[in-house]
Amino acid sequence: MAQARKKSAAKTPPDLWGGISPDTTWQGRTGRGVRVAVVDSGIDAKHPALAGKIKESVEAVVDNGRVSFQPSTSGDAAGHGTACAGIITTVAPEVDLYSVKVLGANASGSGDMFLAGLDWAIKNRMQVINLSLGTTKPQYFGPLHDLLDRAYHAGCIVVAAANNLPQPSYPSIFSSSLVSVIKREGGDPFNFGYRYGEVIELVAPGVNVRTTWPQGGYRQLTGNSFACPHIAGIIALLMEAYPALTPFQVKAILYAIAMRNQDAQKQS
């Protein structure tokens, strides 16, 4: 009987994450000084809620078939990037935003521009890279995978939104080298969840999210694109608290907190 009791006790693992909780991890943090790239349709730098928070704006241009970047003053004709930036700064109001414009007025763009935008963010050592966009074209699988490996080893934490359509998109399915996010209802960005065993792992608010829109406006928006920046903002808080965190460590902390959130919901 004594041996049986010992075996039973051994099956209960210690609480390895006992010291990790939202209160101790990001209490009093604002994301101050953390470099966050929004690879998207641009950001309206004149929006009152975003004024002074955008440290640099660049946009992709094509010359003789090659993509390069130049300073951008064209703002955001699509609104998508501005909306994502507004969500990030709602969670982490003092981040340093970097707008990397790769999408046009209809929130459309080429895969090559997308790759170039991610490459720019990695080369410029962005601590957090928000990708509320993706591609379903298989020819970009390999190049994106290589870029994400580079980002991982450079310490850049990439957060990617799942496809809104029932079709896998890259890079959100590369869950080993980035943080992938899908939407759910609810308004508390800190009450995010974790889908163990799923390709898209984290679940965050993305339904009827009120956020910034060009020309000083606001909109209620729904989509995985708007769940992604909630997690990007939370990661910025983590990076302010612990600037030396690796992508692996950030994911471990997020998962530990998400599991606790879900355990708390089950008990309530």
Whole-number average pLDDT of the chain:
90
Q: Is residue 3 part of a domain?
A: no
Report, as an integer, the average pLDDT of 13-34.
75
User: What pLDDT score was predicted for residue 18?
Assistant: 62
Structural domain count of the chain: 1
User: What pLDDT score was predicted for residue 159?
Assistant: 97
The candidate with the shortest Cα–Cα distance to 156, out of 256, 36, 42, 26, is: 36
Q: Which of 47, 72, 76, 80 is catalytic?
A: 80
User: What pLDDT score was predicted for residue 268?
Assistant: 65
CATH at residue 100: 3.40.50.200
Mean pLDDT is lowest, of 23-27, 131-135, 198-202, 224-228, for: 23-27
User: What pLDDT score was predicted for residue 198?
Assistant: 86
Q: Is 40 a catalytic residue?
A: yes
Q: What is the DSSP letter of 201?
A: -
Domain that holds residue 147: 29-267
Report the share of the chain in percent with pLDDT over 90.
73
Tell me which of 256 and 183 has the higher pLDDT: 183
Mean pLDDT is lowest, of 127-141, 171-185, 230-244, for: 171-185
User: What pLDDT score was predicted for residue 21?
Assistant: 67
At residue 47's C-alpha, the angle toward residues 45 and 49, to 5°, is 110
Model confidence at 242: pLDDT above 50? yes
Q: Which residue has the tokens 């006790």?
A: 9
Using one digit for the tens of pLDDT, what is the confidence trace for 199-227?
A: 898 999 999 999 999 999 999 999 999 99
User: What pLDDT score was predicted for residue 97?
Assistant: 98
Q: Is 80 a catalytic residue?
A: yes
Q: Which of 40, 44, 76, 96 is catalytic?
A: 40
User: What pLDDT score was predicted for residue 17?
Assistant: 59
Q: Round to whole Å and give the CA distance between 90 and 106.
A: 25
Q: Is residue 1 part of a domain?
A: no
Pairing verdict, β 193-194 and 202-205: antiparallel
Model confidence at 131: pLDDT above 50? yes
Q: Which residue has the tokens 């909109």?
A: 219
Q: Is residue 131 part of a domain?
A: yes
Q: Is residue 70 part of a domain?
A: yes
182-213: burial string, b at 16+ Cβ within 10 Å, e else = bbbeeeebebbbbeeeeebbbbbbbeebebbb
Q: Round to whole Å and give the CA distance between 33 and 265.
A: 33
Q: Is residue 9 part of a domain?
A: no
User: What pLDDT score was predicted for residue 236?
Assistant: 97
